[in-house]
Amino acid sequence: MGDVDPAFVQDPEHRPKLSPIQVDGIPIVDLSPVTNPTVSDPSSIEGLVKEIGSACKEWGFFQVINHGVPLSLRQRIEKASKLFFAQTLEEKKKVSRDETSIIGYYDTELTKNVRDWKEVFDFLAKDPTFIPVTSDEHDDRVTHWINTSPEYPSNFRDILKEYIQEVEKLSLKLLELIALSLGLEAKRFEEFFIKDQTSFIRLNHYPPCPYPHLALGVGRHKDGGALTVLAQDEVGGLEVKRKTNQEWVGVKPTPDAYIVNVGDIIQVWSNDLYESVEHRVMVNSEKERFSIPFFFNPAHDTEVKPLEEMTNDQNPSKYRPYKWGKFLVHRKGSNFKKQNVDNIQIYHYNIA
């Protein structure tokens, strides 16, 4: 992944701490009541909704088992991901992203971000995906992003599309459970995703890092979208900041499970009842790591604000509205610019 920048080595603010609390704190939720008709009954679904609500409120993260995504399909996409990343850099760079085509391949050499020790391939759920031209609130122009098509593996695109379809189904089920846990109608969030959603899948490869005390797989951050559904391998490395004491907690991989976290949009929709939680990925000095997050995001023209059902005179709206597409374009555009200030965050929309 290239040489480590000496300036980074001398910057203690970004040096990872290598001693997170290793506990199995992230709740594991069995989705059988909504994926297996033989165990589905009102009481089991009610219990599941309570579990989801508790996990969202206390952690912002949880793992799901018996989720309905075929294991064979997950194995196929994991194999295809490894084949893609095993190519030469020259081959992978044929489908590189740039300022006009955000979707595709990149690594820390291309982005000059030596703190994040990884390489990535992004693929849209909807092709084309419509998006604002700029983050300027007064500019109404809309453009679109399209997927790049790697030549290898030969069936890569078909596997990606099939996998996205299944994980999207899971994401919609999870949003229904989250809506019910908030006291909302099950389909309350569906309207934001029916047309022109901006969801995408990301394939991550974290090579072994010779400087694990100086770099991170991914620096600490919060996800800006609605929901993230992550498949990770047995190597692990994901850490979550526990809300109660702000300690970093290592998430132990559970075979065939998905790790789910609520993003900034759900935090705003719920008017802070559920919180988007900070997380990061640690690198490994000996083993490579692969992961596949699916970022479930609404249409670009979605106005994100606390839902009416979640506000009243005693609990007024904590955020002013913002357009998701403008927020996303601002976030994506900053990947190609060196900034002296933090990237846009939802706290910029807090009502004082």
Report the pLDDT averaged over residues 228-238: 94
Asked if the structure places residue 1 within a domain, the reply is no
Whether residue 16 is contained in a domain is answered as no
Please give the average per-residue pLDDT across 26-35, as a whole number: 94
How many domains are there within the chain?
A: 1
CATH number of the domain to which 42 belongs: 2.60.120.330
- Bond preceding residue 20 cis, omega within 30 of 0: no
Say if 4 falls within a structural domain: no
Asked if the model's pLDDT at residue 220 lies above 50, the reply is: yes
Tokens linked to 113: 């971000």
How confident is the model at residue 271, as a pLDDT?
A: 97
Answer yes or no: is 6 within a domain: no
Reported pTM: 0.90
pLDDT digits (tens, 9 = 90+) for 305-330: 999 999 999 999 999 999 999 999 98
Handedness of CA 55, 44, 296, 324 (dihedral sign): negative
Q: DSSP assignment, residue 45?
A: H
The pLDDT value recorded for residue 115 is 63
Domain range for residue 214? 25-349
pLDDT of 177-213, one tens digit each? 999 999 999 999 999 998 889 999 999 999 998 877 7
Query: Within 13 Å of residue 87, how many CA atoms lie on the same side as its CB?
Result: 20
More confident residue, 137 or 165: 165
**To 5 degrees, how large is the angle CA 165–CA 175–CA 33?**
85
The answer to whether residue 3 is domain-embedded is no
- For residue 124, give the H/E element and its range: strand 119-124
**254 lies in a domain?**
yes
In a domain, 130, yes or no: yes
Q: Is residue 169 part of a domain?
A: yes
Question: Could you tell me the pLDDT band of residue 13, with boundaries at 50, 70 and 90?
Answer: very low
What's the rounded Cα separation, in Å, for the pair 313 and 324?
A: 26
Please return the burial class of 307, using the count of CB atoms within 10 Å of its CB with bins 0-12, 13-18 and 19+: middle
**116: DSSP letter:** B
